[in-house]
Amino acid sequence: MKKSYLLIILILVGIIATLLVNINVRAWDNGIAKTPPMGWNSWNIFHENINETQIKQIADTMVSSGMKDAGYIYLNLDDNWMANPARDSNGNLISDPTRFPSGIKALADYVHGKGLKLGIYGDRGAKTCAGVAQSGSKGYEDRDAKTFASWGIDYLKYDNCNIPNGSDMKTDYQKMQTALANCGRPIVFSICAWEYQSWMPSTGNLWRTTRDILDQWDGTGNAYGFVGIINSIDQNSKYTSSAGPGAWNDPDMLEIGNTGCTVEEYRTQMSMWCMMASPLLSGNDIRKMSQSIKDILLNKEVIAIDQDSLGKQGYRVKSSNGNEVWVKPLADGTKAVALLNRNSSTQSITVNWSDIGITGSASVRDLWAKADKGSFNGSYTASVASHGTVVLKISTGPVNTPVPTPTPAEISAFTKLEAENYNDINSSTIQIVDTVNGGKGVGYIENGNYLVYKRINFGNGSTSLKALVADSLTANIDIRLNSPTGTLIGTLKVATTGDWNTYTEQTCDISKVTGVNDVYLMFSGAVNLDWFTFAGSNTPTSTNTSTYTPTNTSVAFTGDFNGDGVVNMADIIIMAGSFNSVLGDNKYNLLYDANKDGVINMSDVMVLALKFNTFVN
Ligand code: GLA
């Protein structure tokens, strides 16, 4: 073979090998972090000085400031939450008795009670970076993962300090990955090893691509290799193709609001983190946020770029004298574009449609100005402040707007309301479980979770609730109307049934409710729920007569039993569950009795069939 051919072949092999290393073909799918995790972390502002009073105040503020509603869900403890030494005499991790006297489980309960999730910090070595004795998870991976799960932890940041000789980074992280996969609870796995390695996307949900971030614009020359905002952007942008749903490059936490940078520079951190589909973990004292910092952290249109379901990391398409154009394709076919100015003076920056793969005329919205700029042919130019970023959403043609969720049909409160047919949920851990007689229900409920059943019609009034539940512990279910903080109409104090598979009907009184309401079941403690129903003055009192004639003929027969807005096979299947039953045998199936003759049979199916494939509402 000629020397020149050999050279070409070698070059080609090299290119292919590089592509294989950089393209993440097999991300770890543990079912969570499908969009970049959002929350708050203690390190950037409090460093090692954390305690439970302050963390609870942060949880309160995440709710009251609107952060939770904007998507910041994870409240993450960083280093130094542990006791010194960090383990009890059995080798289990324990929290510092002075700073976290109630323990981490109690903190998790508190945080979950606010509708948030709790994250924690550990290390693959012998000690965490704070250097506390016995604080590392090396050799304790399974035990520590189980401890975290038993406390209700939802997120683990796993650091890279104090590594014993002979350790292998990949092996250590994969050990913890396996331990988390087997711990019985979905826990986001955040690899913090200060650099990208090709095995990380198949090992964690996110991985740090940089050393620690500084509250500075440019950290070039830092003795530890720590990085400023602009350096972090440059390093993180090298691994664009590795990011996707469930697996994210992590350029470290936000410094927004920590006073070392200008408001423009902080806006650039938010803009570029969102363009790069990065985790958004705020790191400021949110108890004392100025309005300008809130405006940055809470800009929902910019956050939507980060959280876009396509999960593409944006990339630089043009760079000239410190003026840059970046693009991020979005799920609806539009494109997010960032115009980034690295210069020390205001610059005019132009995005040409050819830079971002579109032609003709396109409409432009400025997401910081929150303004539609109009329709432009071929390009758009904006003035960008020093170290600032303009973020645009650019659409050509009709945007694929998401199909709006249909309003659920009204459902009678006096029918059996299947627990798994909820319309809304505030938890990612609740699962549909098998219950009794081939039925389904909900399980894995935790303190602070709630389920919403929309448009429940209480007719002329209902005064009690009955539910089929299983519980090896005890739990309370508060029944509220129309919002998580709406009117409390009663509490079902669930007595233990002995185990999670033994179901009993349990009842409580409620204050009289009439008309149509959304029902919120608010859980304190764990319980399995198969179904629930309401009863009252206008519902049948007899449960045992085959000659029963329904008295509530006002119950509307919509045919849409699962409330998804359309009458189809799914509804026939629900109806079939009560087939040939007489209403007196089962007073909950009043809704299926289309012709009101007191029995569910083929004639009712015929009525339903006439409505087949029609939309309710
Ligand atoms: C490392 C990590 C930081 C932080 C500290 C805590 O430096 O990179 O993000 O967790 O440890 O000690």
* Residue having the nearest C-alpha atom to atom 11 of ligand 1: 129
Mutate to test the pocket of ligand 1, among 192, 207, 210, 222 (most ligand atoms within 8 A of CB): 192
Task: Locate 476 and state its tokens.
Answer: 């309370």
Please tell me the pTM assigned to this model.
Answer: 0.66
Largest CA distance in the chain: 97
Going through 209-309 in order, the beta strands assigned E by DSSP cover 248-250, 280-282
Greater pLDDT, 68 or 549: 68
- Quickly state the pLDDT bin for 337 (edges 50, 70, 90): very high
Q: How much is the pLDDT for 11?
A: 54
Q: Which residues are CB-neighbours of 535 under 8 A, at least 6 positions away?
A: 414, 462, 463, 464, 465, 466, 587
- The answer to whether the beta carbons of residues 232 and 252 sit under 8 Å apart is yes
Chain Cα centroid distance, residue 617: 30
79 lines ligand 1 (CB under 6 A): yes
The CA distance from 364 to 250, in Å, is 29
Residue type (1 letter), 408: P
Better-scored residue on pLDDT, 598 or 185: 185
pLDDT for 138 equals 98
Q: How far is the CA of 347 from the centre of ligand 1 (A)?
A: 36
Residue with CA closest to ligand 1 atom 4: 43
Q: What is the DSSP string of 116-152?
A: -EEEEEEESSSS-TT--TT---TT-HHHHHHHHHHHT
In whole angstroms, what is the distance from residue 525 CA to residue 113 CA?
10
Cis peptide before 85 (omega within 30 of 0): yes
CATH code for 317-395?
A: 2.60.40.1180
159 C-beta closer than 6 A to ligand 1: yes
- Give the model's confidence band at 501: pLDDT under 50 very low, under 70 low, under 90 confident, else very high: confident
Give yes or no for residue 560 CB within 6 A of ligand 1. no
pLDDT of 83-99, one tens digit each?
A: 999 999 999 999 999 99
Active site residue 604: no
Tell me the pLDDT tens digit for each residue of 384-393. Answer: 999 999 999 9
| pLDDT tens-digit readout, 244-253 | 999 999 999 9
What is the C-alpha R_g of the chain?
A: 28
> How does DSSP classify residue 214?
-
Pairing of strands 379-384, 347-352: antiparallel
Question: Annotated catalytic, 159?
Answer: yes
Confidence of residue 590 (pLDDT cuts 50, 70, 90): low
Q: Domain limits of the chain? A: 42-308, 317-395, 411-537, 569-616
Average pLDDT, the chain: 88
> CA 70, 73, 75, 78 torsion: positive or negative?
negative
- Across the range 357-367, mean pLDDT stands at 96
- Tell me the pLDDT tens digit for each residue of 384-420: 999 999 999 999 965 444 445 567 778 889 888 999 8
CA distance 74 to 71: 9
Beta strands, E only, 420-525: 424-425, 431-434, 440-443, 450-457, 462-470, 475-481, 488-494, 504-513, 516-524
Whether 276 and 230 have beta carbons less than 8 Å apart is answered as: no
Nearest residue (by CA) to ligand 1, atom 6, is: 79
Question: Chain centroid to CA 270: how far?
Answer: 19
Q: Is 129 in the pocket of ligand 1 (CB under 6 A)?
A: yes
**212 CA: nearest ligand 1 atom:** 8
**Which one is catalytic: 78, 154, 159, 530?**
159
- The stretch 201-209 carries a mean pLDDT of 97
Annotated catalytic residue within 212, 215, 250, 530: 212
**Rounded to whole angstroms, how far apart are CA atoms 427 and 450?**
7
Compute, in angstroms, the gap from residue 282 CA to the centroid of ligand 1.
15
Residue 191 alpha carbon to ligand 1 centre in Å = 11
pLDDT above 80 for 583: no
Query: Residue 529 in contact with residue 519, Cβ under 8 Å?
Result: no
Q: How confident is the model at residue 9 (pLDDT cuts 50, 70, 90)?
A: low
Which CATH superfamily is 411-537 part of? Galactose-binding domain-like (2.60.120.260)
Tell how far the Cα of 492 is from the centroid of ligand 1, in angstroms.
Answer: 45
Does 611 have pLDDT greater than 70? yes
Alpha helices in 40-168 (DSSP H): 43-46, 52-64, 67-70, 103-113, 141-151
78 CB near ligand 1 (under 6 Å): yes
Q: How many Cβ atoms sit within 10 Å of the Cβ of residue 270?
A: 25
Residue with structure tokens 């505030």? Answer: 426
What is the CATH topology of the domain spanning 42-308?
TIM Barrel (3.20.20)
* pLDDT for residue 366 is more than 90: yes
